[in-house]
Each structure stands twice: as structure tokens, then as C-alpha cells.
A and B are shown apart, each in its own frame.
Chain A
Amino acid sequence: MRRFSWFNATALTMGFAFLYIPMVILVIYSFNSSRLVTVWAGFSTHWYGELFRDQAFLDAAWVTLRVAFVSSTFATVLGTMAAYVMVRGGKFMGRTLFSGMIYAPLVMPEVITGLSLLLLFISIGLDRGIVTIILAHTTFSMCYVSVVVSSRLVSFDRSVEEAALDLGCTPFDAFKSVTLPLIAPAVIAGWLLAFTLSLDDLVIASFTAGPSATTLPIKIFSSVRLGVSPEINALSTILLLLVTIGVVTASLVSKRRIIQQKRDEQLAEQAPQ
């Protein structure tokens, strides 16, 4: 029985207001018919139209999507492998270094990561472009994926894997038939996380993109440096909408699943043996 507390209620309300009001304002003013973003001049969807006619933006968006898809897929594979190694690998030579390399990118300032990768590509003579961005994003995303999958693997009942081996599976077959289906939600969450990170990355992309490839964040940044622009508000609103739909859907789906599972378990216990 939770005691209702004014302190808690206030803290939560103010906290979430702080988090959401800026975004709400952004959305509202994307419908502002005036270019002066801070003065309301009437409702208009004018800027959305402008946005879709802006070829440079559309090209950048396309590049960004492609990079995000490819890098998050690679990152998920590598990150899942890394997670498996960290949780199940036991002792092996160089484990501390490996662990360090997994956690460090999570907190490393992006300017350093970006600079380091750019210098790497230059010294091996790799031309900067979409490929280099993909390589860069894969590298830092895989660490995030590995953290997400690790936490699922850690709470995983190992005896199910042993049962699979006992019944005739090779280790790889056991992973494919039993472990993977069971960690699938974490793997998917990891993929989504990697996708978002790639979609949103500015600094590392700036370093590794080169003149030929422009991503959406780079475009947004150069636009925003010059000041506020309602087209950006429109773009922001679209992105916010997409993300909100995604997160709310995922949340509802998982909630439904949990309720259904609980109901099944209750039925089972009540039924005759």
C-alpha cells in the first residue's frame, strides 16, 4: 500500500513537464504559418510541404536510413556474440581488455571516437563515405547491443541449454534452437537501440562521412547553426510522432503478452491434474 505523497506527485509532475514541454512547443510551432518561430501567426502545414520538397533533406534521410539499417544489423550480430562471450565465456586470455573495450565506448565522448575512426580510415587509405559511416556506427552500437543482450543472458536459466545438449544438440544447435528464441526480445531491443543511435548520430558521422555522404543529423545541424527554422520543427514533429508510435506500440504489445501469460499460468494451476 503506497502512501500518497505530495512530494512524489509534485516531483513526478514537474519532472515530466520539464522533459516534455520543450517537445510539445516544438510540435505546436511546426504548424505556425509564420517563419518567426517564436511568434504564433496562425495554423499552417506549409512547412511540412516545404520539407518534402527539399531534395537535399530527402537525400540525407535516405542515406541515414540505409546506414542505420545496415549498421544496426551488423551491430546486433557482433553485439550478441560479444554478450555471449562476456556472460558465458568464462576465463580467457585478454578478458579484461575485452571487457574494457565493450564498456568504454558507452561513455567515450563522441568527438574522440569520431576523430579516432577518421584517422584510422585515412591511414589505411579508405575513402570516406557511406561505408565508413557504417563501420563507425557498427563499432559503437555493438557495445550498446552487448549490454542489452548481456543483461538478458545473465538472468537466463542455463539448465535449458544443458537440457538441449543432453537431448542431442550440438552447442550451436542448442544456441539456435533454444537460446536464441529465448533471448530474442533482448536481441530485437538491441537492434532497435542500435538503429536509433545510428539515426541520431551527429558527431561521429561528421568525422567519418566525408564530402560525398550527408546524413540527416548533419543536415539538421548545419541548418540549425544558422538559427531556428520551422522546417526543422516539422521534421522534428514527424520524428517524434514515429518514435512515439513505436514506443507506445511496443509497450502495449509487451503488456498484452504479460497479461496473457499470467492468465495462462493461473488457469493451469486451477485445472485438474
Chain B
Amino acid sequence: MNLARRTLIGIPYLWLLLLFLVPFGIIFKISLSDYAVSIPPYTPTLDLSEGWQGIRDFFGALDWENYVFLTEDDLYWRAYLSSLKIAAISTFLTLCVGYPIAYGMAKSAPEWRPMLMMLVILPFWTSFLIRVYAWIGILSTEGYLNQFLLWVGIISDPLQIMNTPTAVYIGIVYTYLPFMILPIYATLERMDESLLEAAEDLGCSRLSAFWIVTFPLSRSGIIAGSFLVFIPALGEFVIPSLLGGSSTLMIGKVLWEEFFSNRDWPVASAVAIILLLILVIPIILFQKNQEKNQEADT
């Protein structure tokens, strides 16, 4: 391998190795450390000036204490389960909302499509934070939704949506919608119309033609979209923080609070490691799916 090729591969590789992979190792190490009132707020720290003895002491002080703590205090595993539940439900809801939109886009007249694409992508380019913020004004008890429903007369007391899991669902669906729409739209758009015509010619109704032909063929888009929603939603922080309130338990919030409020970095690290372990399989599956799609495109 000549020098030019080595540099080309080496630079991004090294960067990612040092700034992406190595930090995970550091998290792991700190998850094995203890809380300390110091800067940094954990002990032991590796002091190479102590020589070999220093290293031995270092390793001796590491333990699994924090992981044990995670299993003892039920806050943590409840948070993991709650996150899994919320992420799964949100992904499903996003699919339900996003699929019809993607379908409508793919079936629309070709001259409309670039504009529709632009309309879907536009929210994606605007600030995520701001879009979540918008829902605070809508969902709160004095918010626009309640005002509207009261005015129309559907309800007589304001609905309590804010600071409940429902608000979190709405928030996740709203912010992650483009991630679900685009992959599905891409697969639907590529689909051959004549397959549907063949199905109808052979006796299918419009609806069954959809379920038998269209839906299975859009599978790769559905899978890609679901990964793009589920995996980040699992560790979401902003949405449960702004919309969910204290009643909604999500592991991203727990990690944040553990870190910033309790200043317990070792425990926060342990939380992160467990979350990573939960995510490893979906992430690998996602990556394999992406590589497969890219090969199919070549």
C-alpha cells in the first residue's frame, strides 16, 4: 500500500479511532471507578509517575460496584425498560404517520415530487430544539390545543398532555418524521408500477394489492426508517426533558441528571455502557442494512 493511499485511509481512520472509539474505552474505565469529591470527580486516576506500583494500585481500585448499584436501585432498570417501551411505541407511531405521507408523495404526479421532497426536508434543516419548543406552547394546559378543543366544545376541562408520556410520543414522532419518510419514499419511488397493475389484473383489489405487493417491497425502507428512529429515540434527552416532565422516565434523562445534577460520573458512565450494550445489536444491524442497500444501488 503506497504512502498516498495510506494517508488517505489513515487520517479519517485515526480521527474516528481517537475521537469515537477510544472514548468508549474511557467510559468503561470510569464506570469501574468510584465517586470522589475532586476534579475530576472520580477515583482512581491513572498516575504514571507512580510507576508500576501506581498502575497496580489503579487496577486494584477498579470494581464493578457501580454496575451492582444499577441493579439495586430500581430507578435504572425501570428507566431502561421505559425507554425501550417509549422508543418502540414511538417508532411504530412514526411509521403509521410517516408511511401514508411517503406513499402519497411517491404516488403523486412527478412534477410535484421535488417540491414535496423539499417540504419534508425543510423541517429537518430547522432547529430541532425550536420545533420541540413549539409543542410546549401547543400542549400545555393553557396551550393552543386545549384552547382550540375548549372553544370547539369537545372537552370541558383542559387535557393534561404536557409532562406525560403522550407528549413525548408526539414530540418524537414530530421530530423524527422526516427520517422515517425519506427512506420509505425512496423505496416506494423506485418501485415498478407495473407490478401493481399485474396484481390487479390477476384479481387483487386495490387494498390487497397494496398489502401483497407494495408493502413487502417497501420493507427495506421501513427497516431503515425504523432504525433511524428507534436507536436515537432510545437515548433521547431533549424531548423527555422539555415535554415529558418528571413522570416520564427515559434513560437519556437519567444519564444527564446523573452526570450534571448528581455529579456522579462513574454511575453515569455505567449507565452509558449498559445503554451501549443494549444498542450494539441494533446498531450493527443498521450498519449491515446500510451497506447492503448501498451495494444494491451500485
Contact = CB atoms under 8 A, between A and B. Distances in A.
Interface string A161-176: 0000000000110000
A82 B27 CA distance: 26
Contacts of A228: 133, 136-137, 140
A260 to B, nearest CB: 15
Contacts of A136: 19
Q: Which of B109, B118, B242 has the most CB of A within 10 A?
A: B118
Chain A: number of interface residues, binned into ranges: 35 or more
Given A29-B137, A78-B11, A111-B237, A120 B22 contact: yes
A122 B279 contact: no
> Majority SS of interface residues in chain B?
helix
B12 A107 contact: no
Interface string A83-125: 0110001001010011111111111111111011101101100
Contacts of A239: 126-127, 130
Given A217-B127, A247-B118, A84 B236 contact: no
Interface stretch (A5-13, A43-51, A178-186): A5-13
Interface string B223-244: 0000110011011111001100
Interface in B112-150: 114-116, 118-123, 125-131, 133-138, 140, 142-144, 147
Contacts of A36: 142
Contact of B238 (A11, A107, A202): A202
Given A138-B15, A220-B133, 15 more contacts: A7-B104, A19-B119, A81-B8, A82-B16, A101-B16, A101-B20, A111-B235, A111-B252, A154-B294, A200-B129, A206-B260, A220-B129, A224-B129, A228-B133, A247-B125
Contacts of A65: none
B268 interface: yes
A62 interface: no
Given A110-B235, A119-B269, A236-B133, A11 B122 contact: no
A173 B276 CA distance: 43
Contacts of B115: 251
Q: Which of B40, B125, B265, B286 has the most CB of A within 10 A?
A: B125
B120 to A, nearest CB: 8
A123 B255 CA distance: 20
B252 to A, nearest CB: 5
Contact of A217 (B123, B129, B286): B129
A120 B294 contact: no
Contacts of A60: none
Interface string A231-244: 01001100110011
Contacts of B26: 116, 119-120, 123
A11 B8 CA distance: 47
B101 A15 contact: yes
B101 A11 contact: yes
Nearest to B132: A224
